Amino acid sequence: MDAARANRSIGESIVLPAEFDDAVVWAAWLYYVDQLTQSDIAKMIGVSRATIVNFLQEARERGLVSIRINTEVGSRTGIARRLKDKFGLDGALVIPAADTTPLVQRLGEAGARLLADMVQEGDTIGVAWGQTVLAVADYISLPEPLAGLTVVQVSGSSIGNPDFSPEFCTSLMSNRIHARCVNLLAPALLSTPALKRQLLAEPVLVKQFELIHSANMILFGVGDIGPQTLMRSANIANQEEIDLYEANGAVAVLICRFIDADGNPVTGELDDRMVGIELNELAQVPRRLCVAGGAFKVPAIRATLKGGFATHLVTDIATAEMLLE
């Protein structure tokens, strides 16, 4: 279609700027270069939005526009789809290879983007703890305010690593998205099972756990079982207690709960004293966003995915490739 036909085809008179010889070229420029919306372009040119859609389609057919996908982006998209297929995920986001920015920081930024896309009005969002969860909370912002949001702490508190403690992660997240904040008013580990039963019978904690169980979305990371695991450094349990779980086959820690390589729970004496969401309760949350990466965490992440504890995953490309091996 030549310029005269492009202008006559809509039955309207279009006054073209001097630098454009037909309306199709003008519309394509405004859309792909100036990045205006189709509605804004329609108003500027003086035609309907449907006409702009036709113009953009014609621009591609005439070769005026060539859309190319970066090979790295295409590769990461393909890997993300393979992760979804292999582990039955609803969504996966794979970030590029490492640059000078720390991996935890880059995972946090990507996790924040995906979480912001997932959040809906009225959601109750369970938040775990750890460096990666804190990074997500630190980066998140919503494109527009959403009413009725609640952020609830799903794990008891500890005195170790206050920089990314459960209560701090929850408070930061709620502040960033302007949500109601509910912290869990109990330690992560109590001295006896009897004390746990007694404490959880308190009315205030009964109500808090009702809120945890009503969460329709949860954000969590994955811990390995090695010497640098957060479970050890946070002093939630002593080294001998954690070593016993490892000896019984644990390879990963999910919100202070242990699982083996196939994603099955590994239980022990700590479970009877631990305060927080349990693995069967985690699996009941409709939308479960796991943000984790790094070669040393691959066995733990794989176990988490095999156990079906995540519906959405954010990881890096090197980790993703190892998960697919």
SS3 (DSSP) at 321: helix
| Domains 3-61 and 71-324 fall in the same CATH topology | no
pTM to 2 decimal places:
0.78
CA-nearest of 119, 6, 141, 120 to 62 is 6
Q: What pLDDT sits at residue 10? A: 44
User: Residues 282-320: pLDDT tens digits?
Assistant: 999 999 999 999 999 999 999 999 999 999 999 999 999
Q: What pLDDT sits at residue 237? A: 79
253's tokens: 């820690």
Q: What pLDDT sits at residue 158? A: 77
User: Residues 84-101: pLDDT tens digits?
Assistant: 999 999 999 999 887 788
Mean pLDDT score of the chain:
89
Is pLDDT of 222 > 90?
yes
Q: What pLDDT sits at residue 8? A: 37
Q: What pLDDT sits at residue 15? A: 80
d(C-alpha 63, C-alpha 277), whole Å: 56
Is pLDDT of 2 > 60?
no
User: Residues 262-273: pLDDT tens digits?
Assistant: 999 999 999 999
Is pLDDT of 116 > 90?
yes
The architecture CATH gives domain 71-324: 3-Layer(aba) Sandwich (3.40)
- The domain limits of the chain are 3-61, 71-324
d(C-alpha 234, C-alpha 130), whole Å: 10
pLDDT band of residue 12 (cuts 50, 70, 90) is low
Percentage of the residues of the chain whose pLDDT score is greater than 70: 92
> Within 13 Å and on the Cβ side, how many CA atoms surround 284?
9
Is pLDDT of 4 > 50?
no
Is pLDDT of 235 > 60?
yes
Edge-to-edge order in the sheet of strand 180-182: 91-95, 312-316, 287-291, 217-220, 124-127, 150-153, 180-182
Strand duo 150-153 + 124-127: pairing: parallel
Geometric angle at alpha carbon 280, from 274 and 282, rounded to 5°: 85
The architecture CATH gives domain 3-61: Orthogonal Bundle (1.10)
Weakest mean pLDDT among 4-13, 103-112, 169-178, 213-222: 4-13
